[in-house]
Structure 1
Amino acid sequence: MATFLQHIGMLALLTLGGCDSTKKEQVVYKDYDLGKPDKFNMPESLFEISGITLNQGNPDTIYAIQDEDGRLYRLGWDEPKQLNAKFSKKGDYEDVTIIRNNVYVLKSNGAIYNFPLTEAVFEEVEQIREMKKILPKGEYEGMFGDEASGKIYILCKNCEQDNSKSSVTGYILEPDKDSAKISETFSIQVDEIKAITGKVERGFRPSGLAKNPVTNDWYIISAVNKLLVVTDNQWKVKEAYALNGNQFIQPEGIIFDKQGNLYISNEGDDLFSGNILKFKKKNR
């Protein structure tokens, strides 16, 4: 009898082991320890930091915006002093990117402000252009500029043409010297996120996106859903991770440096200042 029970126990262990082996590989935690960031607390001027970027992946200077003031901020890592350049009046500015020595700032209504990076060293930007009515009506928060192609990727957070419980639309823009135009669209299928996590029952609301230069995967954050979603370069969802609300207060900005280190910015709240969290890429 003991031998028979031992066989049954062994079979159960093997069965459980087989189930575990079919689980998806945790690619985010494999490459980044999301529980152990380097934290850079923002000065008071960036309490409501809403977007961050780097120029060509260079981590020496972090460029940031906040969602009430039309200024581009420049900081060195862990240096509380910031410099800034005013590019517009007060408004709801959500994200920023730099491609080919040009700065692009995304407003929540889909308007885009563009000026040369060389203007960022002055107190006020003079060579500014505002591009309107390129994107469909809606609310936008996430933007990424690809240096190699010169294209800009923008994800809709809340748009009439979308049902956020089923899919979220993204737009690929090709800027030129006069304006910009939509060249392609893409979508994130919410069912693919639901298959991994139940955090999107009320719809997916992305707040930022960036491409990992090492894997070419897309990383998409949502402050509303407290999620980090990873897709392949065809926008098929690979992973989705719940973010710890005690650490990720309000994740709005995301970028990678050229070494593949991950940066996520958080707006502040009543208890904490805004910050940028840096997750170093693990060496394997």
Structure 2
Amino acid sequence: MIQHYAMKKYQKFLFLLFFGCATTLLSCAQEKTKKNISPPGYNLNAPQKYNMPDVLQEISGIAFLNGNSNTVYAEQDEDGKVFVLTLGSKKHTITRFAKKGDYEDIAIAKNKIIVLKSNGDLYAFPISEIPKAEAANVVETKSVLPKGEYESLYADPATGQLYILCKECKQDKGTKKTSGFILNMQNDGRFVLTKTFNVDASSLEKLTGRKKGSFRPSAMSQHPLTKEWYIVSAINKALVVTDPNWKIKMAYHLSSNTFNQPEGIAFDKQGNLFISNEGSDTQYGNILRFDYKATKK
């Protein structure tokens, strides 16, 4: 009888021990799942989606004039054209600025449209050339950056200063660092290299909890209110947030269910976040909007 009672107590102890461990593991798993889902003020799981017209199936970069998101300026990675449209409408205008090529990002500063080619070449022309069929007064800046592949461009709207990140450059090979370049706009519309910097992405996998490999940025923009840098990567399926001095603060995994191929990023003046995605055989190219709600410090 005593042995039977002791056995029942032991079995009960094992059950409670197992249940407690299982509960703890589940709780930890849930906490891990919740961790690093969205940047403060945003919900990356609840976007407002705008499908693009067929000509922007391979939409890449996006930009706004003076932070006004009513009108989107976009380009895609096959034609030397700028597309202008209103979100929610398939109507658009097209302005050609160069011949066919691999164009990756777009920015607007000092009343100029600026487009980045994958080899690092830059094209700039007055925004007044929109919506002409062919842009005049296009100024090209070539061979100003080291040889490499580039997809990320941001222009300071006030100074016209450009910020460019390498997607893949020789000097970064074998490291966890990504090279960046700062260029100034000259009076003739060309750009000169003035400074370099780098983003140390060695913490990327730890912050996202997923294996990411080498960091390959697709686009970047600066938050107009916090001045943090937001960098998106289609290859890494990640959104990286750095402080104003490029030190990584946090990184977030981008689910393929929401982000088919994130290639462009921009903010409006209220801090609302917009990320463009290339389409596929089963999905339209799109722009996703994430409303910003400032958090209390």
Asked whether the two chains share a fold, i.e. TM above 0.5, the reply is yes
> Which SS does the other structure have where 2:165 is aligned?
strand
Q: Percent identity?
A: 47
Larger Rg: 2
1:149 alignment counterpart: 159
Give, as a single letter, the amino acid of the residue that structure 1 aligns with 2:247.
K
- Distance in 1 (CA, whole Å) between partners of 2:292 and 2:279 is 25
Mapped pair 1:281 → 2:292: yes
Query: Would the aligned equivalents of 1:199 and 1:227 in 2 still touch at CA under 8 Å?
Result: no
Distance 1:273 1:27, change over 3 A: closer
Mapped pair 1:200 → 2:178: no
Q: Figure out how many residues of one structure are paired with residues of the other and give that number.
A: 277
Mapped pair 1:30 → 2:30: no
Give 1:1-284 correspondences, 5 Å limit: 26=36, 28-163=38-173, 165-178=175-188, 179-197=190-208, 198-201=210-213, 203-284=214-295
Q: Give the CA deviation at 1:161.
A: 1.4
Give, as a single letter, the amino acid of the residue that structure 1 aligns with 2:211.
K
Q: What do residues 189-237 of structure 1 show as CA deviations (whole Å, max 9, x unaligned)?
A: 1213233134333x11000000001111000000001000000001110
Q: Give the CA deviation at 1:270.
A: 1.1
Q: What do residues 53-109 of structure 1 show as CA deviations (whole Å, max 9, x unaligned)?
A: 001111121000000011110011101111111111111000000001011100001
RMSD: 2.8
- Distance in 2 (CA, whole Å) between partners of 1:137 and 1:28 is 34
TM-score (norm 2): 0.86
TM-score (norm 1): 0.89
Q: What do residues 108-160 of structure 1 show as CA deviations (whole Å, max 9, x unaligned)?
A: 01000010000112111011111100010000001000113321100000111
Give, as a single letter, the amino acid of the residue that structure 1 aligns with 2:212.
V
Structure 1 residues without counterparts, runs of 5 or longer: none
- Distance in 1 (CA, whole Å) between partners of 2:292 and 2:91 is 27
> Which SS does the other structure have where 1:191 is aligned?
coil
> Which SS does the other structure have where 1:65 is aligned?
strand
- Distance in 2 (CA, whole Å) between partners of 1:164 and 1:252 is 24
> Which SS does the other structure have where 1:150 is aligned?
coil
Structure 2 residues without counterparts, runs of 5 or longer: 1-12
- Distance in 1 (CA, whole Å) between partners of 2:91 and 2:255 is 28
